[in-house]
Amino acid sequence: MIRLLKCEYKKTKNRYIVLTAIIITIIQLCWALYGSYNEETLSFGYMIFLYQLPLINSIFIPILAIVVSSRLCDIEHKGIMFKQLCTIAPKGKIYDAKLIYGLSIIIVCILMSWIVIIAFGKYMGFKDEFPLNLYLLYLLFTIIPSISVYIFQHILAIFFKNQAIGFFVGVIGTFAGMFSMFLPSVPALRKSLLWGHFGVLQFVGMFGWSKETRMKNVRFDVMEIDWEFFVVIIFICVFMYAVGKVLFTKKDV
């Protein structure tokens, strides 16, 4: 497996996949951090991020998954290299190596974003106490849905030579997931979409906002966490991984 991972790195080193992923993450951070920080915002800045970030993640992380998975598989499809790879390693290991390599890029970008956001809060002087336990929970609830979205995109990228298919499915799913975030009264919609799971696991809510008072009476509270569906998301990840691997091993490349 280590040999195959090194092979993936060498094949993609000059395709700037990691650089592209970092650029997308920087754009995401610029979007998340941009704004005016007045006294009211500084008083509960850490909680504001926990409230806003799931929506931003539902937009940028699927795009990141589309780009990384497509770039990793496009080189094999164009050069008909899957046949060559299958002569030196089992199909299952090739499937795993590509998945692990792509997921490692996604997770590194998520960790980078998480660290920068915390550092930004310290730099800006947020007055609320830094809730480490909530930020660790947020990190967990970001990584798990990201894994499920990436596995899905990985399957599309590895099965279809035309990478536009994975791109269009991913973009449509991203918009649908983002739309579901604005419909909290319809939880079934979020749960039915892989891209909506960022919203299902959102655990900080904003209360007290009105058009007249705006942020004056706002408070941010921790909501009930749907741990049962969290387990469902993990099951979905395992199921998609297993089905994709079985189908790939039976596929004529």
Chain center to CA of 86: 30
Q: Print pLDDT tens along the chain (253 aa).
A: 777 777 776 777 777 888 999 999 999 999 988 877 777 777 777 888 998 899 999 999 999 999 999 888 877 776 667 667 766 777 788 888 889 999 999 999 999 999 999 999 888 888 778 899 999 999 999 999 999 999 999 999 988 888 888 899 999 999 998 888 888 777 888 888 999 999 899 888 777 665 655 666 677 788 888 899 999 999 999 999 999 989 888 876 6
In this prediction the pTM is: 0.90
Q: Enumerate the domain spans of the chain.
A: 2-250
DSSP string, 143-186: HHHHHHHHHHHHHHHHH-S-HHHHHHHHHHHHHHHHHHHT-TT-
Distance CA 203, CA 140 (A): 12
Q: Give the residue among 203, 202, 93, 103 at the shortest CA–CA distance from 148.
A: 103
